[in-house]
Structure 1
């Protein structure tokens, strides 16, 4: 309620009783001055308190919800890309109090790390999404935090290659240990296929493959619009609603044409999936959430690429 409306309501509710009180106070008593002072002080306190409550700014609740940026479930990729372009065109050039907005940048093809500076035009990158595009195989998506491009991307690929080599070794051991019933024997080719895929992924990452298909960065509206027009950029989806990367989930579409959103992977899904192998050497522990560009951190930016989606590698159950 605004102050003027509140004062009108106070007039209607407080003035008549106060008038009657003052009329009684006209009668001579020994305590007229004291009672008058107390009454006026009480009325003043009520009005001041009411005005303070009316004008006190509302507290904004802390938003702890995770923000999703990317292809919504069930929406086609062309529809999502068209909507992203409309949002980018409508993005105001005026900077908000939180600084330039985050944005999801999608590439028209898989890129090698050394091509990123050219395509992105030197824009500061917070993280990239990678996947080894093996025909007919569903490979794993990795979300890699970065500070320096391309050096941190290369370092992240090498760490992921080591993880895939351990994974391949574990699947090979599982395949060799399969004995028993016919149902158990059916797991052998699945283990062998999973090992082959992991080896192929490790080999690709060690050669700094053309595997990067999206990036997350932070820039002003004019820079984002110029970036969207650069060769090799498929689309730019501005995400001003993202306040921190650790409270955001990005789902960029893959460069391959898809009739519907399927950012989790490409290619046929295996019909049989054995249990997840027990690693012979534990993979690197996930590091802290992806830092904002330029933010100081005590750990290397590429210390722990995050596995963002399942591969042909089997999952539990």
Structure 2
């Protein structure tokens, strides 16, 4: 047999089985590669999903604990504050703030006004809150913060609530005075102090019940050009813009009182006199009047006639709205402050 015939026969016998074996090995290798890539892609997908879920987890509010202060503090120069507020208002950008709802501002009045006078001053801006106190000569009276979504209706309603609370305070002081039965000098002094506090609370109640001239500032929100118009109106002492404010519940407003003309200082409760005595600002802690040798029973914060902290009365009936939400067009005031309380003031 020739060599060519032998090789031909070997090819016919050996090549087909080898071809089939190689084909089977190729199929197995392909399937193994596909499975390997599928496993790698699945692992990558699981890892990517885990990373995405971790990044998408809610993050806590990083602004918790941050408080913005607008207004004056003890020791501030009142003329300096008024000049600074005027300069800030003049420099306020027409595009501030980033939202289209306007800029928050503290409107400081140059006199105590009754609720009905507020319409002429604040009628075309969104009002969140008004500040008031009864200016009894020589007496420290409480500074109250009244949510006012409708001016003057909500201010009148808020004053009525304060009057009811003051009636309760007066009755409580009289009961305390009646409970001091000793005849010593300290007992007589304590009874007299309770009686004086009852008289002050009764006077405050009577004033608020009649819609007194007690409002001296307001927190508003409007466009910069509107705020500049408000600053030029009669009865307006200053408009202090606060474009950095976005949440009223993280802001402390402290306007100067109409009788504060030089420096913001702690008050002196001297009793009735011909001239009103300057009263402490909302951030300051009033100086304690002289106390008798017998300690005075503690009175809950906000139950005193002294103007130490701001006291917020309940908001008028209105839909609950987030502080940063725009005001509805049907009312003249902003719902930003609905149910919003200012943080307790603290000395600067």
TM-score by length of 1: 0.68
CA distance in 2, matches of 1:151, 1:254: 23
Greater shift, 249-258 or 178-187, is seen at 178-187
Q: Structure 1 residue aligned with 2:235, among 232, 237, 248? A: 232
Give runs of aligned pairs for residues 130-141 of structure 1, distance below 5 A: 130-141=132-143
Residue 275 of structure 1 and its aligned partner are, at CA, apart by: 3.0
CA–CA distance in structure 2, aligned partners of residues 103 and 214 of structure 1: 11
5+ residue gaps in structure 2?
1-58, 268-277, 281-286, 304-310
Residue 168 of structure 2 corresponds to residue 166 of structure 1:
yes
CA–CA distance in 2 between the matches of 1:307 and 1:93? 29
- d(CA) in 2 for partners of 1:90, 1:188: 55
Q: Which residue of 2 aligns with 1:154?
A: 156
Q: Secondary structure at the match of 1:109?
A: strand
Equivalent-residue separation in structure 1 for 2:239 and 2:279 (angstroms): 22
Of residues 172, 189, 195, the one that matches 1:186 is 189
1:257-268 paired onto structure 2 within 5 Å: 257-262=260-265, 266=279
Q: Following the alignment from structure 2 to structure 1, what is the Cα–Cα distance between the partners of residues 266 and 155?
A: 20
Unaligned ranges ≥5, structure 1 = 1-58, 310-317
Distance in 1 (alpha carbons) for counterparts of 2:175 and 2:169: 10
Partner of 1:4: none
Corresponding position of 2:99: 98
**1:211 aligns to 2:211 (yes or no):** no
**Hey, what's the Cα distance between the residues in 2 that align with 1:215 and 1:262?**
21
The answer on whether the counterparts of 2:144 and 2:312 sit within 8 Å (CA) in structure 1 is no
CA offset digits 1:218-277 (Å, max 9, x no partner) = 011111111101111100000111111111111000001343224886289632283345
- Distance in 1, Cα, partners of 2:75 & 2:215: 24
| Change in 2 beyond 3 A, CA 1:238/1:78 | same
Deviation for aligned residue 1:96: 3.0
Deviations 1:105-134 (A, max 9, x none): 001110000010101242111000001011
Instruction: Find the aligned partners of 1:90 and 1:60 in 2 and give their Cα distance.
Output: 34
2:245 is paired with a residue whose SS is coil
Report the equivalent of 2:89: 88
Q: 1:204 to 1:165 in 2, by over 3 A?
A: same
- 1:249 partnered with 2:226: no
Residue 146 (structure 1) shift:
1.2
Q: What secondary structure is seen at the aligned counterpart in 1 of 2:145? A: strand
- Write the distance in 2 (CA, Å) between the matches of 1:201 and 1:285: 15
1:291 deviates by 5.2
Q: Provide the C-alpha distance between the structure 1 equivalents of 2:339 and 2:78, rounded to a whole number of angstroms.
A: 32
Q: Which secondary structure state, in structure 2, belongs to the residue aligned with residue 186 of structure 1?
A: helix
Task: Quickly say closer, same or farther: Cα 1:291–1:209, change in 2 above 3 A.
Answer: farther
Q: How far did 1:308 drift?
A: 7.4
Cα pair distance change 1:145/1:240, threshold 3 Å = same
**1:291 to 1:162, Cα distance in 2 relative to 1, 3 A:** farther
Asked if the contact 1:144–1:305 (Cα under 8 Å) also holds between the matched residues in 2, the reply is no
Whether 2:72 is the aligned partner of 1:71: answer yes
Aligned 8 A contact 1:167 1:277 in 2: no
Query: Which residue of structure 2 lines up, in the alignment, with residue 270 of structure 1?
Result: 289
Alignment: residue pair count: 249
